[in-house]
Structure 1
Amino acid sequence: MSDHRATDQHAGARRRSKRVWGWVIAAAAVVLLVVAGLIIWQSSSRSDSAENAAEAYLRALESGERSAVEATGIVVSDEALLAFDSAESLVSDATVTSVDETGSQATARVSFVLGDAAHEAVLTLARSDGRWIPDDSGLAAVTVSQTVGTAVSIGEAVFETSEPLSLLPAAYTVAVAPAAYLSGSIGVVALPGATDETAIEASFRPDATDAVQQRLDELLQECEAETALPSDGCGVRIPWGTELRAVDDVAFRIETLPTVVLADDGTSFTASGGELVATLTGTAHDGTERTTTYRSENWAVHGEVSFAGNETTLTVW
């Protein structure tokens, strides 16, 4: 009997011990979950702060990687991202010196090195969809004027200069475009939040005149194939009204194409020294059929020119 009681007592003790250990393990698990939750919450809070968002933007600028810039959420054009790929030098030694938060707006003061000089700037961030995002104070606005042309390029990126260039902070070489026809460039240091103006002394490459001449020759040869009175785009003026009341047929023959000279500003041209023969058949003022030939031995045309990419567009007067 006593042995049986002893066995029962030992079994009961083992059961109580298991229950105690079960409680201890459960309590430890709860503590671990709470601690893990606090760590996750603290980490999330830190990564979701305006300071960390500003730091992330600075690190993205230092990296030179467009994907890192896009990950910050800042709104930036595809052209600016493409230009960033060709930056001459990048932001370095960047740090956030102070941050002020007011509701869904924050202001971060930052310092960095760019173009062999130390700089300071102020970044404005806004809270959107649960995260802090830099606004356009993180970009530079650069207005470019040029003596020739209406576009510039940074690497493979092409910008029209009718509007300021919105660029990611970096140092760039800005060249007049298209490079096949125009020559001229200047270095630009684009600082966050800064508005800058710069001018490029540009000039024509020999290929520019050749391109305009080729395009003009094509247009005039199209006019030569016409069998009606020329349109305004042909640069042809025939005083047929003095001999003819109506024109039924026209035959053009270009004996010499006029030679192009570009204006200094690159927006217009004059082509002179051409020879054109036009034979018109129609009705004379007395009602009879008549054929009259006109010859211009110093045929000249004028027009406007624009370069887009490697294409040349002409408007002939």
Structure 2
Amino acid sequence: MTRRRWWVVGGLVAILVVAGAVWWGVSALRSPSPEEAALAYLRALESGDPEAVTTTGTAVSDTALTAFAGTTSTIEDAEVTSIRDRDGAVSATVTFRLGGADQEARLTLTQESGRWAVDGSGLGAITATTTIGTAVQVGGAAVPVDEETALLPAVYRVSAAPASLLTGAAEAVVLPGSPTAAEVAAELRPAATEAAQEKLDAYLQDCTAGGSMIPENCGIRLPWGTEFRAFSDVAFQVERFPGVTLTSAAFTADDGILTATVTGVGHDGTTRTVTYRNTAWSVRGDIAVTADELALTVW
């Protein structure tokens, strides 16, 4: 082949390469059609990747994205079966498999700045309840109970929260445009009693710091009135803190041992000091389990 022919062939190849690059660039910049936008959304759901979902243009909350990152399983075999345009209202009928069953949904698409994207119809919603606590863990996100929370379509493990204190879980299949409910039968772990004991010990430690008053809501009752006209000081010594027993909403704490030394003025007007020892020191109260801790309220 002559040198001139090599130049001609080389020039044609270069032109084809440039033309292909231009076509690819124009295609990448071209706004997807409604069908392509719906299919892109489905593929993102199949991937289980929150970032892939955000690139489709569908508005999704941080909570939904965090939950999606911990989903149990995602949709499979998703397809767009038809597109309908009625006076500018565009929707896509889609099919997929989720939760061991074939599913069908209709997704509405909107156009913004020339780009089609699936709107909120592509999301589902969950309302969770639990026997203990104010929140549950859905996938990777903490979600309040008794409130509807929008989520991406997927199968989620709904767990009692916090997992360090509670056990119990349920499975929820979230479908586009549909609400679902999840009921979690939660139970206390042994660690919950340990956490409650630590909190109560700290609370009672403050109660027994001593001073010129007998603290309220500490289970401390002293019969000083039988021997004193008034008292000026009380000093406590804790021999044993009351031991905690929990129920789902309350606690009891019994069998503590507390010594109190009271100084004051006796009924005869003289300075008097008396020591009282309680071998059945006890307190009662309520418990509340939030998304990340256990709180006590002592009566």
Measured against the shorter chain, the TM-score band is 0.7 to 0.9
Deviations 1:213-266 (A, max 9, x none): 122122212322232425445343445456555442221122222111111xx2
The 1:187/1:248 distance shift into structure 2, 3 A limit, reads same
Deviations 1:121-156 (A, max 9, x none): 122333334433433322221122222223222454
Which has the larger displacement, 152-161 or 304-313?
304-313
Which structure 2 residues correspond to residues 1-317 of structure 1 after superposition, within 5 A? 40=26, 44=30, 47=32, 49-101=33-85, 105-232=89-216, 234-238=218-222, 240=224, 244=228, 246-263=230-247, 266-283=248-265, 288-308=270-290, 311-317=293-299
In structure 1, what residue type is equivalent to 2:63? Answer: E
In structure 2, what residue type is equivalent to 1:303? Answer: G
Which has the larger displacement, 196-205 or 274-283?
274-283
Corresponding position of 1:26:
none
Calculate percent identity across the aligned residue pairs.
47
Partners of 1:164 and 1:202 lie apart in 2 by 20
In structure 2, what residue type is equivalent to 1:291? Answer: T
- For the 8 Å contact 2:92–2:107, the answer to whether it is kept is yes
- For the 8 Å contact 2:91–2:107, the answer to whether it is kept is yes
The 1:208/1:303 distance shift into structure 2, 3 A limit, reads same
User: CA RMSD, aligned part only?
Assistant: 3.0
Corresponding position of 2:14:
none
The 1:233/1:132 distance shift into structure 2, 3 A limit, reads farther
- For the 8 Å contact 1:178–1:309, the answer to whether it is kept is yes
Which has the larger displacement, 207-216 or 242-251?
242-251
Specify the SS of the correspondent of 2:210: coil
- For the 8 Å contact 1:232–1:316, the answer to whether it is kept is no
Corresponding position of 1:30:
none
Corresponding position of 1:10:
none
The 1:175/1:163 distance shift into structure 2, 3 A limit, reads same
Which has the larger displacement, 225-234 or 143-152?
225-234
Partners of 1:175 and 1:247 lie apart in 2 by 53
Partners of 1:105 and 1:246 lie apart in 2 by 82
Tell me by how many angstroms 1:42 deviates.
Answer: 12
Partners of 1:273 and 1:175 lie apart in 2 by 35
Which has the larger displacement, 274-283 or 81-90?
274-283
In structure 2, what residue type is equivalent to 1:111? Answer: T
Corresponding position of 1:14:
none
Q: Which is greater in Rg?
A: 1
Tell me by how many angstroms 1:170 deviates.
Answer: 0.8
The alignment of Structure 1 onto Structure 2 pairs a total of residues equal to 278
Specify the SS of the correspondent of 1:234: coil
Deviations 1:259-307 (A, max 9, x none): 11111xx232111122222223234567654434443332211122234
The 1:105/1:181 distance shift into structure 2, 3 A limit, reads same
Partners of 1:182 and 1:73 lie apart in 2 by 37
Tell me the TM-score normalized by structure 2: 0.80
Partners of 1:259 and 1:113 lie apart in 2 by 52
Which has the larger displacement, 109-118 or 135-144?
135-144
Partners of 1:288 and 1:101 lie apart in 2 by 97
